[in-house]
Amino acid sequence: MKAINLLATTALIALVSLPVHAQTSPKGVWLGRDDGAAQTPPMGWNSWNAFRTEVDEDKVMGAARALVDDGLAKKGYTYVNLDDGWWLKRRQPDGRMIVRTRIFPSAATKDGATSFRPFTDRLHAMGLKAGIYTDIGRNACSQAYNLDSPNLPEGTAQERQVGLDGHEAQDINLYFKDWGFDYIKVDACGLADYAPGSKRVIDNGYIGLEPEIDRSSLNRTDDARVEARYQKVATALKAANPDGDYVFSICDWGMADVRRWGKDVGSSWRTSSDITPNWSSMLHNYDSAAGRALYAGPGHWNDPDILYIGAGDFDADHLTEARSHFSLWAMLDAPLLISYDLRKAPQALLDIWGNADLIAVDQDKAGNQATIAYDSEDAQILVKTMSDGHKVAALFNRTASPQTVTLMASHLKLRSDAPITLTDLWSKAQSAFTGETTFTLAPHETRVFSAQGPRELANGLYLSEMPGAINVADDGVRNPELDPAIHRMIDPWGGSRSGGSRPMYAGWGGAQADATPYGETLQIDGQSFTNGLGVLGNSLLQVKNDKGFTSFHATVGIDDSTRNRDRPVTFFVYADGKQVAKSPALRFGDRPFELNADISGARVIELQAVNDSERNEIPVVVTWGAARLERP
Ligand code: GAL
């Protein structure tokens, strides 16, 4: 009895005195998803931008042959991905998906069941991999937006339900086990565009599905249901691919707060709506991923969409723009999926896709997406830390006029009193500077340099230099907010037939490298930090310590930019689940507090910031200033 009482009392004390949110409590183990085949961003070809639904076997095999013959496959472009248009129907009553053999003749079988196996066998025999496309709902995007396509699903309403809803395991098993695909892109129009009773549903005789994604309202989008649906697919994929050799590409266009959960569910997740071949659209899609470095890493990547190099503003007459598009995608660790009719590609474009130095930037195994070292609407400097420690900097002119940009050693976190050598990854020209160097960028130009020099931090790494080794287990965002920092293009479909362009991407307040969650300079009680992590209170960041660092250091406090100045915040550091440092409860305006911890031998370091808060209260902005791992 006594013992039970004691236990109960201890439990009660623990409950009352532990300032730990269930959500943010330290886990002691790495929770980041790093299984699947996408240890580096997937590379290859996709049919959509080149052919829309008018895809066919000749066109796809032509692309596959060109990938091999032009040497692109050898450089890493191995996935050959079908997009919308391949399907004929879902056979009734067994629900088997049937291929449209008019455009994929090799899929014909005597019994009419059809099989993509001969097609994937041919790709595999060429040393390539095969990707297929589906939808998370019942109906697909083309059934809403390409109604004049010759390749829409046919038959009864049930036969035209080609999406995964209710058939997750059946379809995944068919596509991966029977047909031998290696990659799947799962779109989401089925959850957005088929409201029961809507004109589209009635006119086309579809069976409606109550929308779970509202393309124009965050509050009317059911994040949890969308996440659960994609999680169901992830589970089916794992079961169908015990060898882990699969890629799961989530395509819900940055909706449903996928920023938060995409990394735990898929290999990549689209961060925005579809890219179109114009500069403004490229800016929009780039922005949607550029502030999200901490959410990407080996096995899980931000996806600003397939490449549009070869068309419109990025065609062979606009090589500056085409190179910028490619450079930026490489800096973002984005999937590199060519979407062009490769049977007739000009050499100038092949040279862009084939730039081995830029490919190596994208494919570096540390998976550190570039972070923004200098930010403005005119020009930006992106810096990426490669696995061997050297830096790659991209100087990006967003505008149509020339811009003067000064690259500083501090942008690179390299010492300003020693020479730094630069190699231009497009021209291959070499140069050197000490302290700073200035360039004039042509309109829309991006210069990319590999940079070598002594590091500011000789025996360690700032956490903002290693985003690929960080898992944002909980970013503290309780009420998702729209990201206002994204270039607002004129909607390519609606044009200006609305009150304005309002992207529905809930990214605001997410954890950031070298900036607050709202893009401000990190600053505590008047002391600013060029290095550090910015995050909200009630958050948990995990850091993978696979390089054997022995100590952790940071200068922490409530950020001067916080709108909520009322709540004290306590900072904790854990090494493999054991508390190794703790701050006092720090208030707004308190001096920054030094946290130093011995983390010898620990694999997972966890950074937790905890404060009381009411539901719907404005979050507190906290700063892990100069957060770093070191060794003696
Ligand atoms: C869109 C998707 C595109 C393409 C298209 C096919 O929703 O974002 O990448 O797959 O559907 O209809």
Q: For residue 135, how far is its CA from the centre of ligand 1 (angstroms)?
A: 10
The answer to whether residues 527 and 592 touch, using CB atoms and an 8 Å cutoff, is yes
Is residue 448 over pLDDT 80?
A: yes
Confidence of residue 36 (pLDDT cuts 50, 70, 90): confident
Is residue 268 over pLDDT 70?
A: yes
274 lines ligand 1 (CB under 6 A): yes
- How are strands ordered across the β-sheet holding 379-385? 371-374, 379-385, 391-397, 446-452, 420-424, 430-433
Q: Mind listing the pLDDT tens digit for each residue in 401-410?
A: 999 999 999 9
Is residue 351 over pLDDT 70?
A: yes
Which residues contact residue 520 at a Cβ distance below 8 angstroms, ignoring those fewer than 6 apart? 534, 559, 561
Amino acid 11: pLDDT: 41
Task: Say what percent of the chain tops pLDDT 90.
Answer: 93
Q: For residue 170, how far is its CA from the centre of ligand 1 (angstroms)?
A: 23
Supply the residue whose CA is at minimum distance from atom 4 of ligand 1. 48
428, with CB counted inside 10 A (0-12, 13-18, 19+), is exposed
Confidence of residue 19 (pLDDT cuts 50, 70, 90): very low
Over residues 241-259, the mean pLDDT reads: 96
Q: Hey, which residues are catalytic here?
A: 187, 274
Is residue 576 over pLDDT 70?
A: yes
Confidence of residue 23 (pLDDT cuts 50, 70, 90): low
Amino acid 494: pLDDT: 84
Q: Give me the DSSP letters along 365-431.
A: TT----EEEE--SSEEEEEEE-TTS-EEEEEEE-SSS-EEEEEEGGGGTB-TTS-EEEEETTT--EE
> Cα–Cα distances in Å, from 492 out to 282, 303, 400, 605?
12, 19, 20, 44
Is residue 514 over pLDDT 70?
A: yes
Is residue 472 over pLDDT 90?
A: yes
Strand 512-513 and strand 532-536: the pairing is antiparallel
Is residue 536 over pLDDT 50?
A: yes
37 lines ligand 1 (CB under 6 A): no
Beta-bridged to residue 45, according to DSSP, are 80, 338
Is residue 24 over pLDDT 80?
A: no
Q: Mind listing the pLDDT tens digit for each residue in 48-66?
A: 999 999 999 999 999 999 9
514 lines ligand 1 (CB under 6 A): no
Over residues 306-316, the mean pLDDT reads: 98
586 lines ligand 1 (CB under 6 A): no
48 lines ligand 1 (CB under 6 A): yes
Q: Mind listing the pLDDT tens digit for each residue in 140-172?
A: 999 999 999 999 999 999 999 999 999 999 999
If one residue of 251, 258, 338 were mutated to test the ligand 1 pocket, choosing by the most ligand atoms within 8 A of its CB, it would be 251
